[in-house]
Structure 1
Amino acid sequence: MKCEDGTMEVGSIEITPFKRQSPSNKAQTYRLVVKRKPKKDRQIDLITQDIYDYRAIITNDFDLDTKGVAAFYNQRGNMERQFDILKNDFGWNNMPFSSLNKNLVFLYFTAICRNLYNKIIQHFSKTNRYLKPTYRMKKFIFRFIILPAKWIKQSRQLKLRIYSYNHYQT
C-alpha cells in the first residue's frame, strides 16, 4: 500500500483473545491487522528501536485481504475525521432547532459552507505562504481573522499596522 511518504507495510494474524475467561467452545477468533509506515522525521524510537509508526486494527472480517482491510479502515477513519470537522468547526454538535426539517436544512447549509471554506482556503493557500490548505477553522480564525491591529498615521496617510509574527504587506 502506498502512503504519503513511502510504502505502508501491512500484515495480519489470527488471534483468540480472552480464551481463559470464555467457555471452552465460545471463544471467537479475530484478525489483528498491523500497519506500519516510516516516520516523517526518520527519528528512531527509544522503545521499539526502529523508525516506524504502528497502527493496529482488530476485525472479524476474514473475507477481505489484508490490504483491503487496511484500505477500508483508512477510508472509515477519513470519514470519521470529516464528521469531526463538521461537528467541531461547523456546529453539528448542537442543533439549533427543535424541528427535524429545520435541522436538516441547517446540516445541508453548513456542509455547503464547509465545501466553500475548503475551496477558499485551497485557493488562498497558493498565494499566501502563512496559510495551509489543511488548516482547521479555529486555526484559520486565530491566524487570519482575529489579529490585533490599529490604524496609524504615517506621512499623512493612514496605514493599518498588524501585530503578528507574520509580516503582512499593508
Structure 2
Amino acid sequence: RFVLIKKSLPKSNKNGQLLFEEFTYEYQAIVTNVDYLTAEEVFNDYNQRCNIENKIDELKEGFAFDQNTQINRKCNELYLLIKMIAFNLNNWFKRTFLPESMHQHEIKTIRRIFYKIAGNICGSGWYKHIRFAPNKLLKKTITHLRKALTDFRKKVVLN
C-alpha cells in the first residue's frame, strides 16, 4: 500500500523571493502493509517515527545488537541487557555532557572524535607520552566536556 502526501509550501522563501510554480508543493510517499488505517492515520502514525531506522542501525552497528554469540539463552539475555545499559549510558552521556551540536551523533561518530585519534608515542626510556595532532573539534569538545563535568559535580555535591 502506498500513501502519498501533498503539502503546500509557502509562496516565498526567507529572503522574500517568489518561488517557481513547480516548487509550491512538497511530496512524501509512505509504503506500508497496514491496511486497517486511513491515509491520514497512516501519515500521523508514520510521520512521528522518521528517525527510527537510524536508531535501529545504531543499535546494530554501534552496539552489535544483532550479534549474540553465547550458547546459553540466559547468557544471551544478559548480554543484550548489558548492551541496552551501554546504549542508554551513551545517550545520557551525549545529552548531559557533550555540546548540543553533538547530541544527534551516533556512537560511530563519537568513537571517531574521541578514540580514533592519530597520535605519536614520544619520549625515551621510562618517560613516554602520546602527542596528538592538532584537532580543533576535539579541543573544543574537551573544553566543553570539562566545564559540563564541573557543573555536574557541583550540582550533585550541592544536592
**Structure 1 length-normalised TM:** 0.56
Per the alignment, residue 17 of structure 1 pairs with none
| 1:148 paired to 2:118 | yes
Measured on the aligned residues, the alpha-carbon RMSD in Å equals: 3.7
Picking from 52, 70, 77, the partner of 1:97 is 70
Tell me which protein shows more strand as a share of its residues: 1
Secondary structure of the residue aligned to 1:34 is strand
Identity of aligned residues (%): 23
Per the alignment, residue 85 of structure 1 pairs with 58
Matched-pair contact (CA < 8 Å) for 1:147–1:164? no
Secondary structure of the residue aligned to 1:72 is helix
CA distance 1:166–1:57, change in 2 (3 Å): same
Tell me which protein shows more helix as a share of its residues: 2
Matched-pair contact (CA < 8 Å) for 2:3–2:39? no
Residues 1-150 of structure 1 mapped to structure 2, 5 A cutoff: 30=1, 32-34=3-5, 49-50=22-23, 54-59=27-32, 60-61=34-35, 63-64=37-38, 66=40, 68-126=41-99, 132-150=102-120
The offset of 1:143, in angstroms, is 1.3
- Count residues in correspondence: 126
Gaps of at least 5 residues in structure 2 are 15-20, 144-159
Matched-pair contact (CA < 8 Å) for 1:36–1:54? yes
**Structure 2 length-normalised TM:** 0.59
Q: Deviations over 1:38-95 (max 9, x none)?
A: 7xx98xxxxx9427664311445354461x3123123455444322211111011221
Secondary structure of the residue aligned to 1:98 is coil
CA distance 1:91–1:63, change in 2 (3 Å): closer
Matched-pair contact (CA < 8 Å) for 1:151–1:160? yes
Secondary structure of the residue aligned to 1:57 is strand
Distance 1:145 1:119 in 2: 19
Q: Which moved more, 1:112-121 or 1:50-59?
A: 50-59
Distance 1:106 1:53 in 2: 44
